[in-house]
Amino acid sequence: MNRFAAPVTVRAAAKINLHLGVGAPREDGFHPLTTVYQAVGLCDDVTAHPDADLTVSVTTTDWVDAAAIPVDGANLAHRAAVLLGRHHDRDLTGRLEVEKAIPVAGGLAGGSADAAAALVALDRLHDLGTSDDALLALAAELGSDVPFALLGGTALGVGRGELVEPVADVGTWWWVIVPSRVGLSTPEVYRHFDRMFPNASPEPPDADQLLSALLTGQPVSLARTLHNDLQEPAIDLRPELGDLIDLGEAEGALRGMVSGSGPSVVFLCESADHARDLAGALMRTGQDVVLVANGAVAGAHVVPSHV
């Protein structure tokens, strides 16, 4: 390792599932998905510094629960480093600094963003030249959402969500994001889906209507086609999420929806101004954290340090 190499910072975005169609569980326990992901402008940065050891440290914005994030081998950025090293038949070292703005266990794939960012940051720090296909394969081993975190934009995901391809999207979509202080466990929400829908079809519902709406660029059209099969189980586990959706829609959102497995709730708006107005209205109702973000934005990419 060149200990004089410059640190590398990689930014990776949160995701929203515009469509999350879930089928009955497969033999391996995972659920077959037809999903449409969108990367939105709420990002974590991972900086890889040259070092003789592999370590991870995390700093957070005030709405992210730092205590809920592991800094040991269970951290997804750490696992990404181990897996990338194994792929190249060597032990990779580096001091990984994760700056988190994406809520933890929020249904926004924050851990997946960190894993994707760590793969790219360490690849660049050590000048490994890992191919895109190899990075996507390693990402899929790390988690179902990690390949999308590499890709970004708006993409169709199938399989268990790990097989991704970009889709046409002509719009700029404005979202208000309301995270929860307490996360929800993704496996728990999937288990609750199985309890609530024991006769679910093995074929997840397709995303055709939503894909057509993306081509109109019209928020009103997209709002009509947003779909999340994990919303009912998430609301059944956390009834206040249903109240929050009703509140945001009463305050003028085109549509409110649980993000992924929750508990973050996202609201689609007409425009940037509309999103800022809605965020203000939700703050006045007593929500302590209300964020505004637009999509689609880029997948994991190198940025100059401290931008």
Q: Which residues are catalytic?
A: 15, 145
Binding positions for ligand C5P, 232-271, rule CB under 6 A: none
Angle between helices 76-87 and 132-142 (to 10 degrees): 130
Binder of ligand C5P out of 129, 187, 198, 239 (CB under 6 A) = 187
Binding positions for ligand C5P, 156-175, rule CB under 6 A: 160-161
Task: Determine if 198 is a binding residue for ligand C5P (CB under 6 A).
Answer: no
Binding positions for ligand C5P, 11-30, rule CB under 6 A: 30
Binding segment for ligand C5P (CB under 6 A), chosen from 45-53, 84-92, 143-151, 221-229, is: 143-151
CB of 2 to ligand C5P, least distance (A): 34
Task: Determine if 31 is a binding residue for ligand C5P (CB under 6 A).
Answer: yes
Nearest 5°: phi and psi at 195? Answer: -70, -40
Nearer to ligand C5P, 228 or 294 (CB): 228
Nearer to ligand C5P, 203 or 288 (CB): 203
* Residue 86 tokens, joined: 């194994």
Task: Determine if 186 is a binding residue for ligand C5P (CB under 6 A).
Answer: yes
Nearer to ligand C5P, 28 or 62 (CB): 28
Binder of ligand C5P out of 85, 103, 107, 143 (CB under 6 A) = 143
The burial class, CB within 10 Å (0-12 / 13-18 / 19+), for 127 is exposed
The burial class, CB within 10 Å (0-12 / 13-18 / 19+), for 233 is buried
Nearer to ligand C5P, 141 or 270 (CB): 141
| Beta-bridge partner residues of 10 | 46, 302
Structure-token match 């760590």, residue found: 118
CB of 143 to ligand C5P, least distance (A): 4
| Angstrom distance (rounded) from CA 281 to CA 285 | 7
Residue 302's CB is within 10 A of a number of other CB atoms, namely 14
Task: Determine if 99 is a binding residue for ligand C5P (CB under 6 A).
Answer: no
Q: Given CA atoms 15, 258, 69, 65 in this order, what sign does their dihedral have? A: positive
Nearest 5°: phi and psi at 306? Answer: 60, 35
Q: With the CA atoms of 56, 99, 291 and 206 taken in that order, what torsion angle do they form, in degrees rounded to the nearest 10?
A: -50
Nearer to ligand C5P, 56 or 253 (CB): 56
Task: Determine if 144 is a binding residue for ligand C5P (CB under 6 A).
Answer: yes
Residue 82's CB is within 10 A of a number of other CB atoms, namely 14
CB of 24 to ligand C5P, least distance (A): 11
Interacting residue ranges for ligand C5P, rule: CB under 6 A: 30-31, 33, 143-145, 160-161, 186-187, 190
